[in-house]
Structure 1
């Protein structure tokens, strides 16, 4: 291997992200968020309480909390209760350890140990909490002067301000924080059958069994893990059958209705053409949404009963529509061009027929 190739390989190794899904943009946003939040947290506390030996401007564990809050905001360890509760409870454990144990070497170990136990039982595990416990044990005169109030001022106060700033920062950046894992699929028909997407492939009990065999704790919400694995299945299907696009299988003679149509006109079209989803267009022919018999049941006009449409571009892989068309709610995906005009529609039947044709092709390739 040449020297240049070796250097390139070394560079990729050194600068490749250690966290799954991390990008340069995400890391830069994390740096900016931490800069703003830590500075403002210190500024707010300094403004209201002043700066002096009686009260630290900001406690050191906030730096570690900022790393989690801005670098891995989807982590269960970085959620608001984890940050506020974890730091506060851990600081209290450190105060108690220092009060009852006068040997520092023993007190620091007991403080951190109690912090881990307390955070685990209160469902607010937060790694910087260990540092908060140590700070409470070894903090010196500033901590001693505040006694049992130290976990609340400044620890809880710092944590609350940091979390509030984090929420605002992530909202401005259109990021999901506090992070809420997507709930597991449910049967929308309210029967005891499992939802269709879980009848083939892995099930939730398979995820539990795999986690039990690893005998390790992973820094990811269990719901997020299941969602990730299901998306991996979709990506594998797209890779195998990605040559078939939406344009290849879509219906092009799309039955649609204008936004000013009456509900009676829309119902007549749905029944005449035996379809369940009716696209609604504006005056220029752009898609507004869709209606079905459910939306039009008690309606007089289409306007006011239009729901958001599931859409896709013509060049998208047809298999990528599987999660949408098997969610138990969506019966068709409207295919739109870059200007928002309707160019086609793919129903569950269209995708099922296309998938049936793909299977023999896949089997033939494997056999060859």
Structure 2
């Protein structure tokens, strides 16, 4: 038997000379790091230029405050972080600057003022739900910024700090949109019971639950730079991959039915209902005149008013023959999808995987070879 831990230790010793060059961020890739560098270059450069143009006062005023550099690191390198969201950047820096200015006017000893300013800035950002690490630097800048900041007074928090933040966030949004990254970060929709009953959704009845995640975080007693919903989603993905490994490398082609009952988009409702009942299936792939998949039809769709199938069909969930079977667990347990249609590159139907097919594959012994239909 192979000692996996021994192999891991050996690999660790082999890689030790270059361990300092391994990204410390989970999921980080070389492409992401290069994009982050390009984004920071463009974002900070354009922020300075646009603010200079907007102020119209030359370079005798601070056009770009130092905390923007740290904000750019978060915005472009870890855009999914809760600390890098628009309100965190704008609110965190602006509120912290206001706190720093207020403290500098009340406490004239710079040593004491700097500590008080940063501490109160953290408290203020926490209360306003906009915790942002560069906010500490914004508070320090307000205290130690010298005559230019002192003469600006509380307006320093808005011009240039808030203006810098707004411009930087806008440029970050545009950059991530062009680079096909999502920003602001979108949370995964909360899973709900589609049947309108008090039961929790089927996919959440086994394994860990949200309260387990909360309990584990409380047990560890640490604060992590990841959104709670993202952590929950990540752990569920780990479960699915673990399930795939424990049941072997199943592919959709191993478990799909190949003799698929389909219906033409121009067929009528009685014909569709007859096919569903005669073959005891819960959904039918709908084909166009070129035999390409264009939708799915079940009893739920047939309950709606309409004459032709093409007017009643819903969007079909699809997969390819090489798709890992474990990836169908999520769609087939959402309470609405009863089957996933398997298509080729031309969207022609070559098979179908039902909830029964998937359940049979999950329950089979790992030592037993997969059966091909």
Q: Normalising to structure 2: TM-score of the pair? A: 0.90
The residue aligned with 1:257 is 263
Task: Please point out which of 108, 116, 119 is paired with 2:114.
Answer: 108
Question: Within 5 Å, which residues of 2 pair with 1:305-344?
Answer: 305-344=312-351
The residue aligned with 1:295 is 301
Deviation at 1:288, TM superposition (A): 2.0
In 2, distance between residues paired with 1:104 and 1:192?
59
In 2, distance between residues paired with 1:100 and 1:344?
74
The residue aligned with 2:90 is 84
Determine if contact 1:241/1:319 at 8 Å carries over to the other structure. Answer: no
In 1, distance between residues paired with 2:183 and 2:121?
25
In 2, distance between residues paired with 1:251 and 1:195?
27
- SS at the partner of 1:343? strand
Deviation at 1:256, TM superposition (A): 1.7
C-alpha RMSD of the superposition: 2.1
Q: Cα deviation per residue 1:50-69 (whole Å; 9 max; x = unaligned)?
A: 35465212111111111101
The residue aligned with 2:244 is 238
| TM-aligned CA distance change 1:10 to 1:50, over 3 Å | farther
Unaligned runs of 5+ in 1: 363-368
| 1:93 pairs with 2:75 | no
Question: Within 5 Å, which residues of 2 pair with 1:84-233?
Answer: 84-233=90-239
Q: Normalising to structure 1: TM-score of the pair? A: 0.91
Deviation at 1:298, TM superposition (A): 1.2
Deviates more, 1:297-306 or 1:214-223: 297-306
Q: Cα deviation per residue 1:131-166 (whole Å; 9 max; x = unaligned)?
A: 111111111122122111111111111111111111
The residue aligned with 1:357 is 364
Q: Cα deviation per residue 1:153-190 (whole Å; 9 max; x = unaligned)?
A: 11111111111111111122222211122133221112
Q: Cα deviation per residue 1:4-62 (whole Å; 9 max; x = unaligned)?
A: x9996245412211000000011111111111111111111111113546521211111
Deviates more, 1:83-92 or 1:244-253: 244-253
Determine if contact 2:318/2:341 at 8 Å carries over to the other structure. Answer: yes
The residue aligned with 2:277 is 271
The residue aligned with 1:20 is 26
Tell me the number of residue pairs that the alignment of Structure 1 and Structure 2 aligns. Answer: 358
Deviates more, 1:50-59 or 1:83-92: 50-59
The residue aligned with 2:3 is none
| TM-aligned CA distance change 1:263 to 1:59, over 3 Å | farther
Task: Please point out which of 68, 71, 75 is paired with 2:77.
Answer: 71
| TM-aligned CA distance change 1:313 to 1:12, over 3 Å | farther
- SS at the partner of 1:358? coil
Determine if contact 2:246/2:366 at 8 Å carries over to the other structure. Answer: no
Determine if contact 1:264/1:300 at 8 Å carries over to the other structure. Answer: no
Unaligned runs of 5+ in 2: 1-10
Deviation at 1:286, TM superposition (A): 2.3
The residue aligned with 1:45 is 51
Determine if contact 1:112/1:130 at 8 Å carries over to the other structure. Answer: yes
